[in-house]
């Protein structure tokens, strides 16, 4: 995702661990969407700094066009 492309390289090991759990443990991706867009509160174990980062990213305050996923450059190296 765009969030991953822009943030993973500068995240701490702790943040990466939180991110990994967040994207892999919930059984429904729609749950993550609702939590990030603040339509529903996340369970306590997912209310952390990475969730805050995702929420801020989702607000898109700079009104960037986010119409497509980033290219997977590593596939072309």
CATH number where 12 lies:
1.10.150
Looking at residue 6, what is its pLDDT?
86
- Residue 12, Cβ density class (10 Å: 0-12 exposed, 13-18 middle, ≥19 buried): exposed
Identify the domain containing residue 62 by its residue range: 2-75
Looking at residue 16, what is its pLDDT?
96
**Contact between residue 13 and residue 19 where contact means Cβ atoms under 8 Å apart:** no
Looking at residue 61, what is its pLDDT?
80
The predicted model scores a pTM of 0.78
Question: CA 77, CA 52: separation in Å to the nearest integer?
Answer: 33
Please tell me what DSSP assigns to residue 73.
G
Q: Which residue has the tokens 């990213």?
A: 57
Q: Which residue has the tokens 């700079």?
A: 62
Question: Could you tell me the mean pLDDT of each successive run of 10 residues in the chain, 77 residues long?
Answer: 87 96 93 95 96 93 71 59
Looking at residue 30, what is its pLDDT?
94
CA-nearest of 17, 10, 9, 77 to 48 is 17
Domain count, the chain: 1
Looking at residue 1, what is its pLDDT?
75
């Amino acid at each position: 995702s765009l969030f991953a492309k822009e943030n993973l390289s500068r995240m701490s090991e702790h943040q990466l661990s939180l991110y990994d759990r967040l994207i892999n443990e919930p059984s429904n991706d729609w749950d993550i969407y609702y939590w990030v867009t603040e339509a529903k509160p996340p369970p306590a174990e997912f209310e952390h700094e990475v969730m805050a980062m995702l929420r801020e990213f989702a607000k898109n305050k700079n009104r960037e066009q986010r119409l497509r996923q980033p290219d997977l450059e590593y596939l072309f190296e």
